[in-house]
Amino acid sequence: MSRIGKRAVPVPDGVTATIDGQQVSVKGPKGELAVLLVDDVVAEMTDDGIQVDPREESKRARSMWGMSRTLVSNIVTGVTEGFTRTLEINGVGYRAQVQGKNLQLQLGLSHDVVYAIPEGIEIKCPKPTEVVISGIEKQKVGQVAAEIRRYRPPEPYKAKGIRYAGEYIFRKEGKKK
């Protein structure tokens, strides 16, 4: 039994959810999202919210049960609150700034890195060493954060580079005399 899948996804006030076969669509104050569920699960509206159940008792159906419920939960959270990832930049002279539809990063390279901000994603730089990525799609927000981090991942000796907020960097000892 899936502990996650057993719980219904609550639909808050101001959010409308429709189920059309395997397609679950949710519309809320921040926008509209839809997810196409696999054929091994079935979704239905109940008094508690959206309930996801397996079609049969196969291993694949039970495997997809919890994941499908989480996907539905993510789109409901996305249209109500949205998702945010914060990146911290460490290093002398390392900084970021938003210029129009581009994020300009100075990361100690011979050139500035210009990252085009994708549609549906909002990037802010409250400080030159902090990048806040927000949007309604959880996967897209995480993907953009990973792409930006990939330009200069944190190194283990001085922890210079781009890291997620709260990420622990395993530090190594330097050379000994």
Residue 43: give its domain's CATH number: 3.90.930.12
130-135 and 121-127: which strand pairing? antiparallel
Structural domain boundaries enclosing 146: 83-164
In a domain, 72, yes or no: yes
CA distance 172 to 175: 10
Q: Are residues 90 and 160 in the same domain?
A: yes
CA angle 95, 135, 92 (to 5 degrees): 10
Q: Are residues 89 and 26 in the same domain?
A: no
Residue 57's Cβ-count burial label (10 Å; 0-12, 13-18, 19+) is exposed
Among 48, 65, 80, which residue terminates a domain?
80
| DSSP string over the chain | --HHHHS-B---TT-EEEEETTEEEEEETTEEEEEE--TTEEEEE-SSSEEEEESSS-HHHHHHHHHHHHHHHHHHHHHHT-EEEEEEEESTT-EEEEETTEEEEE-SSSS-EEEEPPTTEEEEEEETTEEEEEES-HHHHHHHHHHHHHTSPPPTTT--EEEETTPPP--------
Q: Are residues 64 and 9 in the same domain?
A: yes
User: Phi, psi at residue 99, to the nearest 5°?
Assistant: -125, 100
Q: Are residues 112 and 160 in the same domain?
A: yes
Q: What is the pLDDT of residue 5?
A: 85
In a domain, 170, yes or no: no
Q: What is the pLDDT of residue 33?
A: 93
Q: Are residues 55 and 94 in the same domain?
A: no
In a domain, 22, yes or no: yes
- Answer for the pair 136, 82: CB distance below 8 angstroms, yes or no: yes
Q: What is the pLDDT of residue 2?
A: 66
In a domain, 66, yes or no: yes
Q: Are residues 76 and 95 in the same domain?
A: no
Going residue by residue through the chain, which has 177 residues, state the pLDDT in tens, using 9 for 90 and above. 668 888 999 999 999 999 998 999 999 999 999 999 999 999 999 998 999 999 998 999 988 999 999 999 999 999 999 999 999 999 999 999 999 999 999 999 999 999 999 999 999 999 999 999 999 999 999 999 999 999 999 999 998 999 999 989 999 998 887
In a domain, 174, yes or no: no
In a domain, 51, yes or no: yes
CA distance 70 to 116: 29
- Answer for the pair 8, 46: CB distance below 8 angstroms, yes or no: yes
In a domain, 177, yes or no: no
Q: Are residues 70 and 8 in the same domain?
A: yes
